[in-house]
Amino acid sequence: MVRRGKRDLLGTHQVEIGLEKKHFHVQPVSPRSWHTGLEAGLSTSPPNPTLLAKWWTALGDPVLSSLEKRAVAGNLQLKEALARVREARALRGVKRSVLFPVLDATGGVTRQRTSGDTAVVRRTTLYTAGFDAGWELDIFGGARRSIEAAQAQLEAAQEGLTDVLVSLMAEVALNYANVRTYQARLDAVAANIKAQEDIYQLNVSRYKAGLVDFTTVLDAERALQSLQDQVAASRGTVTSNFIRLYKALGGGWGLMDEVKEIYEKTEEK
């Protein structure tokens, strides 16, 4: 579409060209759901017990491997969960026995000694035996429902045992990793403290020589105290993680010599 404009002073015409604008809008395609459905979560395969029992060996730390083994052997919560599994398995066996015939057998021996007016003594031995068999038909399915309930209890107990085992392994590994991490921080802070002490003494000497003002000395002292506070905080964190390790291992202060050595090195810094 072309429109002619007004004539300007130079005798030319201003021409305005107008173009019709068209808007193109594309409707975006939205997903049906923004998270995984419940069915997909339930279909996830359970963890492999074999891999779960030795996943920490991939880290290549013999101390951690020994701690994990001791935790499995001595943790009280794990023993309790294992006892529940055994109890549920025994209960399932009792419920299953209802479907099978019941056999009862009895036996006995009776000895008698009789004597009359004569001198002859008579001895009599009587043997008795009995056998009984019974089988109750599960006509209405009550026994099978009881077995299914017992099986569900067993599976729940097994899942509870797995949950306790996973939590225990993670707790031991996490606390041990925290101990190692804060020990490395203590080593770095100890080196920084040595350097900051030298800086502080240097600033004191420079202040006495009139080269810097007293605020420089205060700044160096404040930085030194901050590093010393980090040492105290890291020691407290290491101690807390050692207490958690103590609980995870089932109590008792019979920690391994390697762990005791780690703690003693922490206290020395």
Instruction: With cut-offs at 50, 70 and 90, classify the pLDDT of residue 182.
Output: confident
**For residue 82, is pLDDT > 70?**
yes
* Mean pLDDT, residues 59-69 taken together: 82
**For residue 253, is pLDDT > 60?**
no
Question: How many angstroms separate the CA atoms of 92 and 143, rounded?
Answer: 11
**For residue 175, is pLDDT > 70?**
yes
Instruction: With cut-offs at 50, 70 and 90, classify the pLDDT of residue 103.
Output: low
pLDDT above 70 covers a percentage of the chain that reads 59
Instruction: With cut-offs at 50, 70 and 90, classify the pLDDT of residue 222.
Output: very high
pLDDT at site 11: 46
**For residue 23, is pLDDT > 80?**
no
Contact 67, 176 (CB under 8 A): yes
Mean pLDDT of the chain: 74
* Mean pLDDT, residues 209-233 taken together: 91
Q: What is the model's pTM?
A: 0.56
**For residue 181, is pLDDT > 60?**
yes
Instruction: With cut-offs at 50, 70 and 90, classify the pLDDT of residue 195.
Output: very high
pLDDT at site 13: 47
Contact 85, 154 (CB under 8 A): yes
pLDDT above 90 covers a percentage of the chain that reads 11
Instruction: With cut-offs at 50, 70 and 90, classify the pLDDT of residue 248.
Output: confident
pLDDT at site 94: 76
Token look-up 């101390």 returns: 63
Question: How many angstroms separate the CA atoms of 152 and 19, rounded?
Answer: 74
Looking at domain 62-268, its CATH superfamily turns out to be Outer membrane efflux proteins (OEP) (1.20.1600.10)
Question: How many angstroms separate the CA atoms of 102 and 130, rounded?
Answer: 14
Lowest average pLDDT, out of 13-17, 38-42, 132-136, 170-174, goes to 13-17
**For residue 183, is pLDDT > 60?**
yes
Q: Which residues contact 29 (CB under 8 A, 6 or more apart)?
A: none
pLDDT at site 226: 92
* Mean pLDDT, residues 46-70 taken together: 74
pLDDT at site 2: 44
Lowest average pLDDT, out of 22-26, 50-54, 217-221, 246-250, goes to 22-26
